[in-house]
């Protein structure tokens, strides 16, 4: 479930965008949030000084185990990638059609709401008849 969305330009640094997002978010309405898992792009010292020093949650950097080569499944990181895949199923989010970041943010939020509503109240569907060649 997405807790906050911030659309930025592609040439911006990830840590600066995270600083903007985490500073503008009122964390009082998320009292159970204890840990934020981040990748190595979010190790910037100014991010710690501006956000995590005063935040009610801790930052945990998820990195690949030392000595590992190739693809490695990182449990916390997998949740993020899986959520991106779910959102990518939305036809409007399959490509970046929007000109303005607020439009993209609104579509991401709407897609996640749609996904969560479908999870809370699933609609039973008939399975389609599989195609079979005549014998």
Please write the tens of the pLDDT for every residue from 69-87: 888 888 888 888 888 888 8
The Cα 77–Cα 39 span in angstroms is: 8
Pairwise pLDDT comparison (130 vs 4), residue with the higher score: 4
Q: Give the mean pLDDT of the chain.
A: 83
> 105: exposed, middle or buried (C-beta count within 10 Å: 0-12, 13-18, 19+)?
middle
The Cα 71–Cα 29 span in angstroms is: 37
Phi, psi of 61 (to 5 degrees): -85, 125
DSSP helix, strand, coil percent of the chain (3-state; round to 5): 45, 5, 50
State the average pLDDT over residues 106-133: 84
pLDDT in tens, 4-49: 888 887 788 888 888 888 877 667 777 888 888 888 888 888 888 8
Residue length, the chain? 135
């Amino acid at each position: 479930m997405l807790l906050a969305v911030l659309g930025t330009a592609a040439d911006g640094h990830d840590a600066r965008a995270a600083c903007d997002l985490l500073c503008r978010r009122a964390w009082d309405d998320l009292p159970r949030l204890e840990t934020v898992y981040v990748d190595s792009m979010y190790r910037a010292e100014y991010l710690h000084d501006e956000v995590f020093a005063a935040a009610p949650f801790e930052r945990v950097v998820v990195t690949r185990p030392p000595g590992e080569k190739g693809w490695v499944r990182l449990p916390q990181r997998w949740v993020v990638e899986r959520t991106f895949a779910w959102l990518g199923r939305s036809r409007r989010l399959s490509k970046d059609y929007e000109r303005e970041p607020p439009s993209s943010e609104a579509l991401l939020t709407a897609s996640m709401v749609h996904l969560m509503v479908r999870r809370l109240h699933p609609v039973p569907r008939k399975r389609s008849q599989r195609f079979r060649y005549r014998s």
